[in-house]
Amino acid sequence: MTDAPLTPREADDALAAEYVLGVLDLSERAEAEARIKRDPAFAALVTDWEVRLSDLNDEYAEAPAPNLLPKIEARLFPKAATSSPAWRGGLFGWLSGAVVAASLVLAVLALVAPPQSELVAMLATPDNRLAYEVSHFGDTLQVTRVAGVPAPAGQVHELWVIAPGEGPVSLGLLQDEPLVVTYPAPPEGHILAVSLERDGGSTTGVPSASVILMQRIGDDA
């Protein structure tokens, strides 16, 4: 006997819970955040889970974090017999401790403060019936469809970046799932565009069909 599949309502409720618990990967979390902005019913589910889970830590008293730095220093820089002057060992110990401490701070910041998304562009038709949100995460771009539907059967939307005075470069095909690609945030003056291509994308290295969305970075959306 197998479990019955989740209803759409149950699937949305589970997704909202996973979002609040922080167990979604980067692309899933970005898609959930985009949906919160456009779907009041889903946003309400997220708020409900935030309220339901807010009391989980109430029964636990705050405890100071253990001081692990001495043990880490002892493993990384074991003391050895030396004929060097005492001041030299003290200086080396101070420097090594400072290096380790700085490394620990950077590691903690990397774990506690994940890269924040930054909106790069909103590619949309004048009536906003089709729109793609382009965000920057660290060294990646993420492109999420926030309005409209996919390309018709047998066709696909393809994303392009065009630097001033240069030819267009394809960044990938836009499907149902957000497109995540390793690419720096395009500076002002670069153009982002979406073309309608045959299934599989352009085979010529340039948009081979009509460009349906376009925005120059730095211009108002």
- 96/151 same-domain check: no
165 within domain boundaries = yes
Question: Are 122 and 105 contained in the same domain?
Answer: no
pLDDT at 103 over 70: no
Q: Contact, 158 vs 172, CB < 8 A?
A: yes
Task: Compute the residue count for the chain.
Answer: 221
Among residues 112, 146, 163, which one ends one of the domains? Answer: 112
35-93 pLDDT, tens digit each: 999 998 888 898 888 888 776 655 555 556 566 667 666 766 666 545 455 545 554 55
Helix ranges (H only) for 61-199 are 69-76, 86-112
pLDDT at position 87:
43
Q: What is the pLDDT of residue 81?
A: 46
Asked whether residue 148 is assigned to any structural domain, the reply reads: yes
The reply to whether the predicted model has a pTM over 0.75 is no
Nearest CA to 121 out of 5, 210, 8, 220 is that of: 220
Same domain, 152 and 196: yes
Do 127 and 210 reside in the same domain of the chain?
yes
Same domain, 184 and 148: yes
The reply to whether 82 falls in a domain is: yes
Structural domain contains residue 58:
no
Domain of 73?
69-112
Q: Is residue 171 part of a domain?
A: yes
CATH number at residue 194: 2.60.40
Tell me what the mean pLDDT of segment 14-25 comes to. Answer: 87
Same domain, 126 and 99: no
203 occurs within a structural domain: yes
Q: What is the count of structural domains for the chain? A: 3
CA distance 3 to 18: 20
Q: What is the pLDDT of residues 195-209, one digit of tens each?
A: 888 888 888 888 876
Same domain, 108 and 187: no
Mean of pLDDT values over 11-22:
88
Interatomic CA distance for residues 65 and 108, integer angstroms: 12
Q: Verify that 47 and 98 share a domain, yes or no.
A: no
Start-to-end CA distance of the chain, whole Å, equals: 53
99 in the same domain as 150: no
* Same structural domain, 103 and 156: no
pLDDT tens digits, one per residue of 135-178: 887 788 888 898 888 888 888 899 888 888 888 888 889 888 88
What tokens does 184 get?
A: 């720096």
Based on the fold, state whether residues 106 and 123 are members of the same structural domain. no
- Co-location of 16 and 83 in the same domain: no
